[in-house]
Amino acid sequence: MVSGLSAKEVEVVSFLEFEKKYYFARKDVEKFFKNRSLMNYYLHKLMKKKRIIKLNKSRYFLVPIKAKKGFWAEHPLVLVDEMMNGSDYFVGGAYAKYYWKFIEQIPREIDVYTTKRQGSRRIFNVKINFHRTTRNNLKNAVVRRMMGRSFFILNKNKIAKESKWQWN
């Protein structure tokens, strides 16, 4: 048994690892529990033990067992896409400038423009700032793929226009 985890927690974590479901929903693990209250209890315990990270109301990220002392890094663009359930958002600001190679320094914060939420959240030492935007502004985003996953990022020409830089 993995140190610090109960038999039920090991059962859930090992199932998710075996199925390679590092991003999972509550419905993926409900079969292990008798009722919703018990599921909430074990998910809360796993969050306290830093074995899972809550991304939104129903989505979680599983920190793999192979992670040393619970430390793990995931690409921020994939993480943001999972947090937003793959819709109604785009990544902008300094991270979009870095992605399109307008700047070389890796930003420590990610600006996410969405119709759903606002505020900020820190996950894996990355601060994610949510900004409200309109559905019309979502048309400025383009879809890109990374690590087999798609995500939305602000169009390169829109960034160049906002920054008053010319892209050659």
Give the range of the structural domain holding residue 87, as residue numbers without chain letter: 76-163
pLDDT reported for residue 37: 93
pLDDT top residue among 109 and 167: 109
Task: Indicate whether 168 belongs to any domain.
Answer: no
Task: Indicate whether 71 belongs to any domain.
Answer: no
Average pLDDT, the chain: 84
Answer yes or no: do 88 and 157 share one domain.
yes
Which of 66, 95, 117 represents a domain boundary (last residue)?
66
Prediction pTM value: 0.67
pLDDT tens for residues 10-68?
889 889 988 888 889 999 999 999 999 999 999 999 989 888 888 888 888 888 766 55
Q: Residue 117's pLDDT band (boundaries 50, 70, 90)? A: confident
- CATH number, domain of 34, equals 1.10.10
pLDDT at 79 over 70: yes
3-state secondary structure of 61: strand
- Tally of domains within the chain: 2
Six token digits for residue 29: 């693990």
Answer yes or no: do 91 and 13 share one domain.
no
Answer yes or no: do 60 and 80 share one domain.
no
Task: Indicate whether 1 belongs to any domain.
Answer: no
pLDDT reported for residue 68: 56
pLDDT at 100 over 60: yes
The contacts found for 60-64 with CB under 8 angstroms, 24 or more apart, are 60/23, 60/24, 60/25, 60/26, 61/22, 61/23, 62/13, 62/16, 62/17, 62/21, 62/22, 62/23, 62/24, 64/17, 64/22
